[in-house]
Amino acid sequence: MTLQQLKYFLEVCNTLHYTRASENLNISQPSLSYALNQLSDELGAPLFKKNGKKILLTEYGEVFQTYVESSLQILAQGEQQIKNMINPQIKNINLGYIYSVSFDVVPKLIDEFYISQGDRKINFSFQVNMTNSLIEELEKGTLDVILSPPPDVSYDFIDSIPILEQELFLLVYEGHTLANKPSVTADDFKNEKFVMINKKTNLYLQTEALFKKHNIFPETVFKVDECNSMAAFVGAQLGVAIMPQIPSLDNYKVIAIPFKDKKMSRTISLLWNKKNPKHEALKKFIDYFDASRKNIG
């Protein structure tokens, strides 16, 4: 598996068109097809399928796309870090965040911060991971700040600011018996098979608490590391899940149903290591959100 193959794979994911992708990559279409066939052979699963003249991602391709995007983001972070070492005058913030805020929350918050500063001179390097892994990087100092739910245990080095409430939904596949319901209660899904998030995450603990409260003992069919994988498995009609309504749900054949009466949600906070000195760019970033919270409050 090569970096070139992964970049080719993402380009086809973005265009869903071999000819257009090969033009964007400035390579021949046979070369592109050969590289992707090699990648599929190595993984042992087809990544794309044809539907008439259209090209679509398979369920394997949908899951793999998320991990490829994360891997390339981490590599880009390393590249940016080298540039910062070469030119220390560049102001850079190393920001980590959980998967479910990748697509809409992070770009929006950074854009709002840039507008407040009146310029875009502060650069960002990004890392996407689970909350526990992000906190480990925060403690080591490789991340300056993270966006995630607050940890469920107390850390003496962490300070935080609540940023937003992220509503959680029951995710079902199209055609499921619950798909047309405007809202659900625990009784509606107590006998369903579940796709669950990794045990180390805040989302798992919230889901587990809901089950305990209503004496539900669900059958867990799959455990995954992030929300896109949950959606992919649900879309493949392998179970249901409890998760936030992320923008990429449009790529899967799923329906997000809110909880009846009392909605289920989790807090997403900005966390940083208060024991580490804050450079000027980081201080501006934290101060902006601290002031925003006080204005709202």
The pLDDT value recorded for residue 84 is 58
pTM: 0.65
Q: Render 26-77 in DSSP notation, one character per residue.
A: TS-HHHHHHHHHHHHHHHTS--EEEETTEEEE-HHHHHHHHHHHHHHHHHHH
In the chain, what are the domains? 3-66 (1.10.10.10), 89-162+268-296 (3.40.190.10), 165-266 (3.40.190.290)
Extract the tokens encoding 19.
Answer: 């000819």
For residue 149, the SS3 value is coil
For residue 120, the SS3 value is coil
The pLDDT value recorded for residue 110 is 92
pLDDT per residue as tens, the chain (297 positions): 888 889 888 888 888 888 888 888 888 888 888 889 999 999 999 998 888 778 888 889 888 888 888 888 778 767 766 765 665 555 789 999 988 887 778 888 999 999 998 878 888 988 888 888 899 889 888 899 999 998 877 888 999 999 988 899 999 999 999 999 999 999 999 999 999 988 777 888 889 989 999 999 999 999 988 888 899 999 999 999 999 988 778 788 899 999 997 788 889 999 999 988 888 888 899 999 888 765 544
- Report d(CA 294, CA 150) in Å as an integer: 19
- Report d(CA 231, CA 222) in Å as an integer: 12
- Report d(CA 107, CA 130) in Å as an integer: 19
pLDDT in tens, 91-144: 789 999 988 887 778 888 999 999 998 878 888 988 888 888 899 889 888 899
The pLDDT value recorded for residue 280 is 83
Name the helix (H) or strand (E) containing 248.
none
Strands (E), the chain: 48-51, 54-57, 92-97, 123-128, 145-148, 158-173, 193-197, 219-224, 241-244, 254-257, 264-273
> Among 81, 62, 92, 25, which residue's Cα sits nearest to residue 249?
62
